[in-house]
Structure 1
Amino acid sequence: MSSTERLEVLFDRYVRRECTPGEVTELVLLMQDPAAEEILTPAMMALWERIRKEETTYPVNWEQMYASVTSVEDVQEPLPQIRWWRPMAAAVVILLAAAGSYLLFISRKTAKENTTMPVAMQDASPGGNRAVLTLGNGDTIVVNAHQNGWTAQEGSSSVVKKDSNTLVYETTGKNTATTVAYHILTTPRGGQFRVVLPDGSRVWLNAGSSVRYPVAFNGTRREVTLTGEAYFEVAADARMPFRVTAGAVVMDDLGTAFNVMAYPDEAQLKTTLVEGAVKVQRKEEAVILKPGQQVAAGQELKVQTVDTDEVIAWKNGEFSFNHNSIYEIMRQIARWYEVEVKFEGQHDTYLSGNISRSANLSEVLRMLELAGDVKFVMKDGQVTVIKK
């Protein structure tokens, strides 16, 4: 059998999940041959068309994943540095970017017969629109328990639940109070919500986050305090700059859109500018970001250029991973699905790809298993990560 024929056979076996570990290694080696692209392109295109015709809804952004696959050919780095997938299986897992959820679909249909599936038959539903509002007097209100149109009054301001995921503040008259009341909107793990502040600025809260703000902005600055993660679209007002404080880091802007990730369990606080301009300061250090830049507050303020669509994917209903460690990925999953995560041993797995946040946890974990050298066991609200 020629190498060309062998490559075609192995590719077919691989997409059917019939390859032995030795055959996977052989496939990786054969795919490094420049002739492999010409051989496999028709097969991959046929597989792609077959997947697109399936009526089943898959938890993957197909268009973006396919674009990722077809763009790999433009990367001039040697195989071990391919940015889309973990180096050890990079060449083969490129196929999974197009075929992964198709394989997931096949495995789900045969799950009852397949007793070797590593994900235990337990599941967790994705998060949703959930939040708690703390009023100025300390009273708490479970916002998602109220119907649209619910309202509360605080001084000269009122807050209205406009729809299933949005609170809107409106000023009903001149503020004559000597002190301004503060509200706190908190999303639990597995929750997300949006609030339109009194000045018209909009804030999207990710899971396990909170934002504290006045019910009316007075003085020379609009100030809010954040824990967790939020995306801000700030209403322009040059006379009253907008400030976000997260721990020891302060972000100032005049009217812009940016994302702040400030979870206590993350090593670095990250601010990403989508449009406009923002100044990020910590004690004596300060940087001014341009659109498409991100500053990470570690031992120093470090600026880099990033893909903003990936950073704010959570706001648009997706997980977006770009060479993220399995530890980073599982922290995101733990927050959104309200599960505890345990690791057995040390892991050096890095993964990339997009998965819908509306998918059940079992679907997400199966996609991660297909893409990397990890497997998962789900039991009693805990996910254990095991090296394959």
Structure 2
Amino acid sequence: MAKKIENIYKSYLNGSINRVDLDALLLYFEKAGDDELNALTSFAIEDFEADHVEESFAAHIPVIRQRLENKLNESKKQPIRLRYRKSWWAAASILFVAGLATWFYAKQSPKHSDVIAPSEAILYVKDRSGKEIAILPKTDSIWTVGDIAFSRIDSQTVKVIAVGKNPSLQTIYTPNSDFRLVLEDGSKITMNAASTLRFQLPFTPAKREVSLEGEGYFEVAHDVRRPFTVNAGAAKIEVLGTVFNVRNYASDGRVTTSLMSGRIALSKSGTSERIVLRPGETAVTDQKGIHIENLAPKQAVAWTVGYFDYRDQSLRVILSDMSRWYGVDVDTITLPTDQSIYMKVRKNIPLQEMLNLLNEASGLNFQLNNKKITLKATHKK
């Protein structure tokens, strides 16, 4: 493999590729042999960042995509699962196609009225009395709920301010979008789709405490006098100031905590079990207790920068994420239980294209009917 092409492909993965090099890379994918493609696309397994492709290269996409799909079809002649060592070519192909498809479909105008795209970012707030308001996408606008004011900073960020001295309980949730909160102490919490956060403001002089259902990325402001506590299902996370991610969806059946920086103490409710996480570690809290899992924090927080990132993930988890993000139902009764998927895709593409990529990665046939994702049975010949 030519060293220049290797460097060009690396620049594509990290988003620094220029127009001339991109043209050369796409041409190489059309003409290179399978061995050369295998060697080149191996770079996609570890780190992949999609780049925007200029309109003048749109004609190359179908050609490359067809070649990659042909390779996938060849691999599907044998019953295999997408694994790092055994089938990394299929995984690399999906990653590469997903990057191109992100641009291609984002540029196109919807051809049908039933195209389902990610929802607009709207945050809902409910106070102790049950009064509920929607924090709409109006930058620099202010909403007041009880003794709390919400100031919209940008399309997906709201600053929360206590306007009274008495603690006021708030319930905040976002149905089908990401949303970031900036709290009075400077801490930032990014909420994933279908997530709920409960807390009282102002915080007391002795502690800062929130409860999470769903998924949240926490950037906690350091305050040695007031520890920050996150209650997430059976997991309790105690910090002073650090960055970490917590995933607590009921459908997962467990709480996953990934530490990016700093240090946190993780305990399980109703038990004496307690561990301290170090940066780069991920812990799972479930019925068996607390245990360290082999999940890179960078993968765990991919959703905060606009990606679905799955490495050896079950179909049930992937489809549950799609259900929350696109606001559709999923029939999970007939799903294979032994299928593992590798796929990294931008979250801003239409649902139908997301399903197309999932079908390529899994070798199955998921379809969308009346806002419900179902698995179509394949008949053996």
TM-score by length of 2: 0.72
Deviation track 1:57-116 (CA, whole Å, cap 9, x = no partner) reads 999xxxxxxxxxxxxxxxxxxxx797348x5xx2652562366359979x99xxxxxxxx
* Counterparts of 2:116 and 2:326, CA distance in 1: 6
User: Alignment RMSD, CA only?
Assistant: 3.6
Segment drifting more, 140-149 vs 329-338: 140-149
Aligned to 2:97: 100
| Per-residue deviation, 1:52 | 6.6
| Per-residue deviation, 1:161 | 1.5
| Per-residue deviation, 1:121 | 10
Aligned to 1:361: 351
* Counterparts of 1:238 and 1:57, CA distance in 2: 57
Aligned to 1:322: 311
* Counterparts of 1:57 and 1:136, CA distance in 2: 56
- The answer on whether the counterparts of 1:344 and 1:387 sit within 8 Å (CA) in structure 2 is no
Structure number, greater radius of gyration: 1
The alpha-carbon distance between structure 1 residues 121 and 385, as it changes in their structure 2 partners (threshold 3 A), is farther
Pairing partner for 2:326 from 306, 330, 337:
337
- The answer on whether the counterparts of 2:137 and 2:155 sit within 8 Å (CA) in structure 1 is no
* Counterparts of 2:117 and 2:364, CA distance in 1: 21
* Counterparts of 1:296 and 1:217, CA distance in 2: 28
Pairing partner for 1:376 from 366, 373, 376:
366
* Counterparts of 2:88 and 2:267, CA distance in 1: 42
Unpaired stretches in structure 2, ≥5 consecutive residues: 1-31, 45-51, 62-79, 106-111
The alpha-carbon distance between structure 1 residues 57 and 314, as it changes in their structure 2 partners (threshold 3 A), is farther
How does 1:1-388 map onto structure 2 within 5 Å? 40-42=34-36, 55-56=57-58, 83-84=83-84, 90=87, 93-94=90-91, 96-97=93-94, 100-101=97-98, 123-144=115-136, 146-152=138-144, 154-155=146-147, 158-170=149-161, 177=165, 179-188=166-175, 190-282=176-268, 283-298=271-286, 299-343=288-332, 345-347=334-336, 348-386=338-376, 388=378
- The answer on whether the counterparts of 1:131 and 1:144 sit within 8 Å (CA) in structure 2 is yes
| Per-residue deviation, 1:218 | 1.3
Q: Aligned with 1:362: secondary structure?
A: helix
Aligned to 1:116: none
- The answer on whether the counterparts of 1:149 and 1:163 sit within 8 Å (CA) in structure 2 is no
Deviation track 1:328-385 (CA, whole Å, cap 9, x = no partner) reads 1111111101111114634132111210000001111111111222111211001102
* Counterparts of 1:306 and 1:101, CA distance in 2: 22
| Per-residue deviation, 1:56 | 4.0
* Counterparts of 2:101 and 2:220, CA distance in 1: 41
| Per-residue deviation, 1:136 | 4.1
- The answer on whether the counterparts of 2:219 and 2:242 sit within 8 Å (CA) in structure 1 is yes
Higher relative contact order (CA 8 A, sep 6+): 1
Q: Aligned with 2:319: secondary structure?
A: helix
Deviation track 1:122-155 (CA, whole Å, cap 9, x = no partner) reads 5311134121011344321111265532242754
TM-score by length of 1: 0.71
